[in-house]
Every structure is written in structure tokens, then in C-alpha cells.
Amino acid sequence: MATETGTRDKTYDLVSVLYHALEGASLYGRYAEDAERAGDSELASFFKEVKEEEKARADRAKRFLGKRLSS
């Protein structure tokens, strides 16, 4: 089924996951910096960890998107 834009749902969904993962990674990087400035290395480490998870999720979404767009 196509969205209102004419884009297939799975393509739109992958683009959405990619966007939100990259947005999350950016935010979590800022949160890590805030925690470091506050002297909370444990919390900074947590934010860095979730940032890396989001970056990995974005990479997976890019690979899926690339496969589907090339076919």
C-alpha cells in the first residue's frame, strides 16, 4: 500500500527509522556532553552507549533501504 505521497510504506518506514535513529544519535551525543560537564561519567557512558546503538540501527536501515531501492 502506498502512502499519500505515493511512496511504498516499507520505503517510508525505513526512511523514518533512519531519520529517527540519526536524530537520536545526535541528541544522545549532546546528552553525553551535558553529563560529562556535570561530572557524571556513568551517565555520560550510558548516553554514549545508546548513541552507538542508534548509529548501528541507522546503518542497518541504510543497508535495507539501499537493497530495496536498487531492486
Structure-model confidence comparison of residues 50 and 8, the more confident one: 50
Among all chains, which residue has been given the C-alpha cell 545526535? 26
- Locate the DSSP E strands across the chain: none
Query: What is the per-residue pLDDT across 15-71, written as a single tens digit (0 to 9) for each?
Result: 999 999 999 999 999 999 999 999 999 999 999 999 999 999 999 999 999 998 887
State residue 19's pLDDT score: 98
Q: Is the pLDDT of residue 1 over 90?
A: no
> Which positions ≥6 away from 30 have C-beta within 8 Å?
none
State residue 71's pLDDT score: 78
Q: What is the pTM of this model?
A: 0.82
